[in-house]
Structure 1
Amino acid sequence: MDNRVTRLLGIQYPIIQAGMVWTSGWKLASAVSNAGGLGLIGSGSMYPEILREHIRKCKSATDKPFGVNVPLLYPDIEQHMQIIVEEGVRIVFTSGGSPSKWTPFLKSHGITVVHVVPGAKYAMKAEQAGCDAVVAEGFEAGGHNGREETTTMCLIPLVCAAVQIPVIAAGGIASGRAMMAAFALGAEGVQIGTRFVATHEASSHPAFKQAVVQAQEGDTMLTLKKLVPVRLLKNAFFQQVQEAENRCASVEELKNLLGRSRAKKGMFEGDLENGELEIGQICALVREIKPAAEVVKEIWEEFCRVRRQIVEMKLA
């Protein structure tokens, strides 16, 4: 496909693998890039030198474009940004903060910048900051989420109407049909997280991958709204958080309950009861762990098939 997203990122298919903590290392990023999409290294769970190692291994594993996702609230962000420049990364996706500070820095080094937003007003700010594109991420998405709880179906046309730069849809997308729906709403690409968690190359724990493919409708919920809203699989830790929120626990108490390593404990170490299990609603439709390249191929082929069907309906 030739559109603004594929040209901007230098990729064959407008399919971007989300840069997820404890899941998106160099193996997953390079596999997606080699398959024709854009792989992203999730730097939010990496110490600076670990990020450097992953970038170098990714460069050795693919000659295709790949990028790094950087949460802007990360404590070592200065070191991360310097490493990204030093290692010659050409694409950065930012999230979880204002893009106004770091976008000019990245652009000054010739880096393409895409920012993840939960609403149209944030998309306009990203465009004003100089971002090349935005990812409009709906309420269905796993992990950290917008307080407005706007669903993808509503969010995509709102953001497309608000900005001139390309819009990439995210949240509840794991198939070619969903990708086609996002394009019908005005998106020119999709960013997919949950479906790529259930792949062989994802660095998440096998037990977490199994929990994802076994999840049913209603097994995830948005919580921790007093801190930073996050969508989680329901487990013992989730129940603790819900109980604390129901009795109006303070922000400080919630921070203590969350601790420093809950996501690592659940997603990387496989503690399915006491860990934080970040995943999207669409996990209810994910039923198999398979190679990342196969996921890209299936999504693209289904997208093309559905697009042909729609054209044939118009001609009938």
Structure 2
Amino acid sequence: MLPPILQGLRIPVVASPMFIVSGPELVIAQCKAGIVGSFPALNAREKPGEPPLLEAWLTRITEELDRHNQANPDRPAAPFAVNQIVHRSNARLERDIEICHRHKVPIWITSLGARVEVNEAAHDCGGIALHDVINNVFARKAIEKGADGLIAVAAGAGGHAGPQSPFALVQEIREWWDGPLLLSGSIATGRAVLAAQVMGADLAYIGSPFIATEEANAQAEYKQMICDAGAMDIVTSSLFTGVSGNYLAPSIRRAGLDPDRLGAADAETMNFAEDASKAKAWSQIWGAGQGIGAVHDVVPAATRVERLAAEYVSAKAEMARL
């Protein structure tokens, strides 16, 4: 059974935290629309000498959702989540954990490493911890270190993605894990959300369709590229971060590179330090998942959720008739 915090969503969807793209505007809109909104803590970057921007973001999100709930007791907002990059190069991790703990963040999403102390911090403030994994070995390690649930990042997911089929990945995890399981990878329609559940996941983890929303912190060209592209326009490479990820080929070409002749980078080169020059160098290389062929226009996030919900209900009704 899902923990209470993940029950009662409008549809079984958690919006994935996207580098740069996910900020307070998008998270608030997603939560008000009835799905879990999320953002990476590292997206909140203040200038030297300024107070932590993460504090301001969490205060704004909490206060706006509280106001919404008071005004709409019959249609409360979904909870929000914060993603922590648990990698040795993230020098902000301890500071950001303390801030999230103090603000009682309800859902913690951890990536690129499972750490006991992060899960303990989430539990200590009444939250739950979900860890994203790309294979069954990492899934077992995450649960051993205290994660409450797993996010299976399968082939076709935007940004950092695993190589395994969602059928294989979910199947192997479900052989031993009956707790919360989310599935990520090419999910862009309500029908795909239902398919994820049929495979054995509890919720779908959706990112790329929300790039093409009014609230997303993305350049207009990026949003339009999402609308114009399809699965054939997605390229998998480790060059840009040191970890295999999926990116838009047109953005790679605009950066002067040939998407068919990309080199590779070792995971040891991965760097999440705030002054990482490599991240700045690749800032115009845009991530996306293979499901973007279903995205055709830039709309408010609430409209995107409305469409997903309508498609999900329709797909369930259709399956019931079989």
TM-score range, shorter chain: 0.7 to 0.9
Q: 1:154 is matched by which residue type in structure 2?
A: A
Which residue in 2 is equivalent to 1:203?
Answer: 217
Alpha-carbon shift at residue 250 of structure 1 (Å): 7.6
Q: 1:296 Cα deviation (Å)? A: 1.3
Question: 1:254 & 1:241 partners in 2: Cα distance?
Answer: 20
1:88-121 deviation per Cα after TM superposition (whole angstroms, max 9, x unaligned) = 2121111111233421232223221111111122
Correspondence 1:217 to 2:231: yes
State the AA in 2 paired with 1:186: G
What code does the residue aligned with 1:215 have?
Answer: A
Partners of 1:195 and 1:142 lie apart in 2 by 10
Determine if the alignment matches structure 1 residue 120 to structure 2 residue 131: no
Hey, what does 2:303 align to over in structure 1? 294
User: What does residue 61 of structure 2 align with?
Assistant: 58
Q: In 1, are the aligned partners of 2:193 and 2:312 still within 8 Å (CA)?
A: yes
Q: Which moved more, 1:163-172 or 1:220-229?
A: 220-229
- Match of residue 27, structure 1, among 2, 25, 28: 25
Q: 2:116 is paired with a residue of what secondary structure? A: coil
Indicate if the aligned counterparts of 2:86 and 2:114 stay in contact, CA closer than 8 A. Answer: yes
CA distance in 1, matches of 2:268, 2:146: 36
For residues 11 and 197 of structure 1, do their structure 2 counterparts lie closer, same or farther at Cα, with a shift above 3 Å needed? Answer: farther
Q: Which residue of 2 aligns with 1:144?
A: 160
Task: State the partner residue of 1:47.
Answer: 45
1:188 counterpart residue number: 202
Contact 2:110 2:129 in 1 (8 A): yes
Go from structure 1 to structure 2 and tell me whether the alpha carbon gap of 1:110 and 1:252 turns closer, same or farther (over 3 Å shift). Answer: closer
Match of 2:173 in 1: 159
Evaluate the alpha carbon distance shift between residue 207 and residue 86 of structure 1 in structure 2; reply closer, same or farther with a 3 A threshold: same
Matched with 1:104 is 120
Aligned to 2:70: none
Larger deviation: 152-161 or 287-296? 152-161
Q: Distance in 1 between matches of 2:186 and 2:65?
A: 28
State the alpha-carbon separation in 1 of the partners of residues 126 and 184 from structure 2: 25
d(CA) in 1 for partners of 2:266, 2:34:
46
Question: What is the SS of the residue equivalent to 2:257?
Answer: helix
Give the structure with the higher percent helix.
Answer: 1
Q: 1:258 to 1:279 in 2, by over 3 A?
A: farther
Q: Is the 8 A contact 2:243 2:270 kept in 1?
A: no
2:105 corresponding residue in structure 1: 89
Alignment CA distance shift 1:72-1:241 (3 Å): farther
Other-structure match for 1:8: 5
Tell me: CA distance 1:115–1:250, structure 2 relative to 1, closer, same or farther (3 Å): closer
Normalising by the residue count of structure 1, what TM-score does the alignment of the two structures yield? 0.85
Question: After the TM superposition, which of the residue ranges 37-46 and 135-144 deviates more from structure 2?
Answer: 37-46
Shift of residue 25, structure 1, vs aligned partner: 0.4
1:80 aligns with 2:122: no
Would you say how many aligned residue pairs link Structure 1 and Structure 2? 295
For residues 287 and 33 of structure 2, the distance between their equivalents in structure 1, rounded to whole angstroms, comes to 25
- What pairs with 1:227-242 in structure 2 (closer than 5 Å)? 227-234=242-249, 235-236=252-253, 237=255, 239=257
Distance 1:8 1:128, change over 3 A: farther
Structure 2 CA distance for aligned equivalents of residues 108 and 200 of structure 1? 35
Matched to 2:98, the amino acid is Q
Aligned partner of 2:294: which letter?
Answer: L
Using the alignment, how far apart are the partners of 2:23 and 2:114 within structure 1?
25
| Residue 238 of structure 1: how far off its partner (Å) | 7.6
Determine the C-alpha separation between the residues in 2 that align with 1:58 and 1:23.
Answer: 16
Deviation at 1:179, TM superposition (A): 0.7
Query: What is the SS of the residue equivalent to 1:81?
Result: helix
Question: Which runs of 5 or more structure 1 residues have no equivalent in the other structure?
Answer: 266-274
2:184 to 159, 166, 170: 170
How far 1:228 sits from its partner (Å)?
1.1
